Amino acid sequence: MRSFELLDGASAKFWEIDQDGSEVTVRWGRVGTTGQTKVKTFDSAAEAATHEGKLIAEKTRKGYGETTGPTAPASPSRTPAPTPPAPTEHAPPDEESFVFPAAWRRHRSARRGSSGLGRFVPDAAARAATDQLMDRPGGIAEVFEAPATDPAVARAAMAWLEGDPQAPALGAAAVAAAATLGNWDARDKFVAFADLWIAERGLRLAAEAAVELMTLKLDDGLPPGARTGNNQLFGVRFIRVGEQRRNSYGDPAVATVLRVRAALAAATEEEYAEVIEALTPYRAAGAYARAATSLLAPAQLEWVAEDVATALADGDESRATGLLNAAGTPDQVTALAAITSSYPVAGSIETLTTMIDGVGVGAAPALFHWFDDIEWADGQRRLLSLLAALPSDEAMRGLVDRIDVKYVPPALLDAAGRYPARALRFLAEGAAKPIVADLLRSHVLTHPRIVEEALPLLSTAARQRVETIREQAAAVVPAPLSAVPPLLLDPPWDKPRRPVKPVVITGLTDTGAPSVSWLDGEREAWRQTPYPRFSEGPLDWEEVGKSIAAGTAAWYEPSEFFAGAPEELARPLLAKWRVEDTWQAASWMRVVAARFEIDALPAALELVKRNTAEMASVLLPFAAPEVAVLMADAYARLKSVRGTALTWLRRHPAEAARALVPPALDKAGVPRRQAEQALLTLHADGHTETVRAAARGYGEAAAAAIQTLLETDPLTVLPAKLPAMPAWAVPGLLPPVLLRDGAGALPAEAVSNLVMVLALGRSGTPYAGVDIVRQACEPASLAEFAWGLFQRWHTSGGDSKESWTLETLGVVGDDETVRRLTPLILAWPGEGGHARAVTGVQVLARIGTDVALMHLHGIAQRAKFKGLKAAANQKMDEVAAGLGLSADQLADRLVPQFGLDAAGSMVLDYGPRQFTVGFDEQLRPYVADSAGKRLKALPKPGARDDAALAPAAYQQFAALKKDVRTVAADQIRRLERAMVTGRRWTGAEFRQLFVAHPLLWHIVRRLVWAVYDEQDKRIGAIRVAEDRSFSDAHDEQAQLVADARVGVAHPLHLGDSLADWVEVFADYEILQPFAQLSRETFSLTAEEAATSRLTRFEGRTVPTGRVIGLERKGWRRETPQDAGIQGRIELVVGPRQEVVIDLDPGIAVGAMEVFPEQELEMIFLCDGTGNRWSNNTEGQIPLNRLDPIAASEIIRDLTELTA
């Protein structure tokens, strides 16, 4: 196999090719990933060889450098292709010698002794390039006539421009310096001056000119301050003592010096000695002249050491950055890195590769220093790609230690592929982290020979981890082929597909009238959707209507008009209105659709056609032929909208089928394929009879043709192009999949086909073969296999083309999948992965177990990122609607019982031993043995315990404790919110959902519950006693009828009985889960109640973190405005009631530290209709409209915020 690399700016790619007889295998991708693999078969080995040569020639022309060699490390990680039954291992590479990669040579500035040096040839076009750089209005000479130009510089420059053969090197340098004026963005072109000097005056003068250039700078001669631009006349002068050049990364002078150095590196010994002699006098000159000599001749170690020391002493960042190109020891590089700016260095592949050429693996500490200091994806990936190529313990240890940092896992995989023995040591020692443990398992199975050699070198704990992996792998027994589902041995995609001539019936048309249908509460919710307003003050609706009719309305007026104008004015104009401005249309179009229903459909359709990805959901209530065709197209073509399209198909199956039969029977083409796919989706979703009925409406021929479509074997419904199998999906490295009948694990060939079965699924619609797999395979092992696939995808870089691995978790995942995935979903938006997090939310909903929905609800309540929170809430609403419940009612039912009995305990069976586990009133776990004796913890399985039962029981309890912690936190937060918002339950619901629940009743009995009449007036209060009966404040038994209205009592509702309840809870030593009876209450002053402003808190300055903390209490930050600043935080109190806090300077999204403090500029109550950017009081309403509890809680929140 031959390997090549291309390192170009932010891009680091590898490409490999291997010929085996008549087959050519190519693997390619970004360095640090396992990439993609493609195999092509030819008629003969000769043809294959010709093809291989052609591809290699193409790659080398594009700048790829070959890294193949007996000592060169491999570029990407050496993961075997996915088809072999087990991984194979090649001869171990040399892991101690660092060979500078050939692909890096085109970026570095070589020094004498660098590997791969060739003959230096000046660019023949250098004269033309420099002439172009010097071409400026007035001529380059006017720079030397400027008052700021040093007279000595001017004389030398004019001599050079006049072609004087005796012109000094200073003149050549001065002309080059002047040419930079106005050409700040052409840094790389300036090396042409070096080529010109070498070609026309020789290497010695070129070296002298390069040094002189480093001592010069442009200056307009004006005092410090603002420049107007038209009064500047630049000249060239010498750098003064104490001045710094601009950052060396962008300095044309440094690039020019390094170009001369490339020629000097390839010079003869005589030429080199001559140049050193010419440079030596400059050692007595200024700091920048001395630094230039070190850059030119880094082999002069004394020079470099002296210049590094003085740059550090002076704190000169520019010299330090430049001297990274001359450094010859790791200590020098580490010291220089400490005073350089991380971003410019990380952005310069030239500086980085040149530095590594000088110090080799000793560059690792500096590379990690810059990596830890920046938050820039391209720069981080560039640094990691370099670190992965360094054969050192420090590099490998640093990657393992940073495994939780984005972009590191792919780099660690790359490093592990290059240096497997070293990787084994550090992975084994660091496998306490789950992600490292997963990498260790794959690594151990990939490199069995290296494992044997490395075991004696490992610590006891690390050795035990490796041995456990080997024992588990050895215990997996492959099932006989006769027990494997035929789909996984002889899949339909391996069989030739016979084309079937489709039945074509043209001229069919759906004549059904458009319709609209709303889910319960949906229309009112859409009408209440908040949307931005930009008008100043109330609009004159009649005048705005005339402007819309004439096409002269301001950009913001139509949305406000159709959302708020009187119906008799707005409805007649809807038919003519065409949306022009789509900003925030997803919000205001909901209001328009809810107001005008079917009359709003034309405008909604046009809006969705213009921006389907963001606007498709506004069509969910509508059914019409055009909507059906649009949704079929979105379902087939747009991954981001596929979920919305599928929701629409399921919501309107009859209308969809009727509209899609005509295109499904029309001539072959994209519309037909899309319609067929949508009809088959309805068929698979249980709407077969609906599709048949729709087809019968078009006649017998249409019905017969559609029936033929429906009878198509779903296993044969395959995409025109099968998904490529990822190189990391190696059967032997993935968790084993056990068959339900106990026959053993799927053999390797079946595992490869299982991967294809999962990859063929589409968002929301798995491939039909998944049902066969589910029936044959043990669910827990199938879920573990899917997680293994996901983990390998995730650690290999998470290529979006292979995101089916994430979606697969929703198809075969289980509760353990949910527990693992939820923390990632919460973290992804902060890493730039919002879309991935939203997909994760959809995965949780598809898993659909009580635990999955519980975690989904938790995300909806506590996610830090607004977009993720909205996506989770939307998915909760969809699930609730499907069950005929509200989102709150669904959340009530999402608390699993976890297999606990009525007393809240369960028995765990170890075989010869049994243990009872449960939870006390504060939901702390306890364990008792069979004699009832309390234990400190659940014992670990022992040698005498059942080998299958005991580990499963131990793991079950570990998962149970995690789930209960999640439940406790979420439910306590929900119940406190219910107290504040006035949530009510019937007596029957209260008994069923809370009192009878084996876990929740522990929380419920630590609160006071109020009973209310139909007018929401308190008529009593109760608590839940230890025997689950009810008692009142006098500790006497109370009754609760089934149709009573119950809620968490707010202290303001308890009135005079509050003191009695405090005494009861004190007597029984009941600790409340949150402040209820002890809750401090507040009220508005008479002056505040008459206005809309809470001025008592205005003008206060508070930490930004505290402001963000309000989100835990139901507040929400506004959508980011200009520059990503959130200048408001709001609390929706009720319909048309929002409390708004204006913040100054506002919260910088994703960078809270930018503005660490916020002034509470203005706090007011509004109805949500005012202009966000207006200073008037439009939309503000008096505070006396607030419910007393709402007012108390708002003041309480702000009191805590400003304390």
The b/e string for 525-548 (b: 16+ C-beta within 10 A; e otherwise) is ebeebebbbbbeeebeeeebbebb
> In this structure, are residues 1183 and 1091 in contact, taking their beta carbons and an 8 Å threshold?
yes
DSSP string, 577-616: ------TTHHHHHHHHHHHHGGGGHHHHHHHHHH-HHHHG
Look up residue 1093 and give its DSSP letter. Answer: B
Q: Could you give the CA distance from residue 1102 to residue 1156 in angstroms, rounded to a whole number?
A: 9
Residue 913: pLDDT over 90: yes
Residue 785 in any domain: the answer is yes
Shared domain for 871 and 910, answered yes or no, is no
766 and 619 within one domain: no
Domain membership flag for residue 363: no
* pLDDT: which is higher, 61 or 214: 214
State the CATH number of the domain containing residue 27: 2.20.140.10
C-alpha span between 975 and 521 (Å, rounded): 23
**Same domain flag for 862 and 957:** no
Q: What is the CATH number of the domain that holds 1150?
A: 3.30.310
- Dihedral sign computed on CA atoms, order 488, 490, 492, 495: positive
Residue ending a domain, among 1033, 1067, 1101, is 1067
| Residue 80 confidence (pLDDT) | 33
576: closest CA among 604, 603, 606, 608?
603
Would you say residue 197 has pLDDT above 80? yes
648 and 564 in one domain?
yes
The span from the CA of 952 to the CA of 940, in Å, is 11
Over residues 352-360, mean pLDDT: 96
Q: Do 99 and 114 belong together in one domain?
A: no
CA dist 1000 to 880, 991, 993, Å?
21, 11, 8
In the listed set 43, 73, 103, which residue is the last one of a domain according to the structure? 103
Q: Is 463 helix (H, G, I), strand (E, B) or coil?
A: helix
- The count of other CB atoms within 10 Å of the CB of residue 1176 is 10
Structural domain boundaries, residue 441: 429-475
**What is the tens place of the pLDDT at every residue in 857-899?**
889 888 878 788 888 888 888 888 777 788 888 888 888 888 8
Cα distance between residue 797 and residue 803, in whole Å: 11
User: What helix, strand, coil percent values describe the chain, rounded to 5?
Assistant: 55, 10, 35
Q: What is the DSSP string of 659-719?
A: HHHHHHTSSSSHHHHHHHHHHHHHHHTT-HHHHHHHHHTT-HHHHHHHHHHHTS-GGG---
The answer to whether residue 491 sits within a structural domain is no
In a domain, 1160, yes or no: yes
Mean pLDDT, range 347-353, rounded to an integer: 93
Are 967 and 909 part of one and the same domain? yes
Residue 1124 has pLDDT above 90, yes or no: no
**Residue 30 sits in the same domain as residue 151:** no
What is the reported pLDDT for 727? 80
Report percent pLDDT > 70 for the chain.
95
Which of the listed residues 418, 447, 475 is the one where a domain comes to its end? 475
* Residues 568 and 699 grouped into a single domain: yes
Q: Which residues pair with residue 914 across a beta bridge?
A: 909
The answer to the question of residue 369 being in a domain is: no
Per the structure, the count of domains in the chain is 7
| Residue 1024 within a domain | yes
Q: Are 863 and 914 found together in one domain?
A: no
Q: Which of 661, 648, 731 is nearest to 690 (CA)?
A: 661
pLDDT at 77: 32
The answer to whether residue 836 sits within a structural domain is yes
Whether 557 and 706 map to the same domain: the answer is yes
Question: If you count DSSP H runs as helices and E runs as strands, how many of each does the chain have, helices first?
Answer: 52, 24
Residue found by looking up tokens 């119950």 in the block: 1046
pTM, full prediction: 0.71
76 and 156 fall within a common domain: no
Report the alpha-carbon distance of residue 79 to residue 34 in Å, rounded.
7
Q: pLDDT digit string (tens) for 538-591?
A: 789 999 999 998 888 888 888 889 998 999 999 999 888 878 777 778 888 999
Q: Quick one: pLDDT band at residue 37, thresholds 50, 70, 90? A: confident
Average pLDDT taken over every residue of the chain: 89
- Residue 304 included in any domain: no
SS3 category, 66: strand
Q: Which residue has the higher pLDDT, 249 or 601?
A: 601
Are 694 and 771 found together in one domain?
A: no
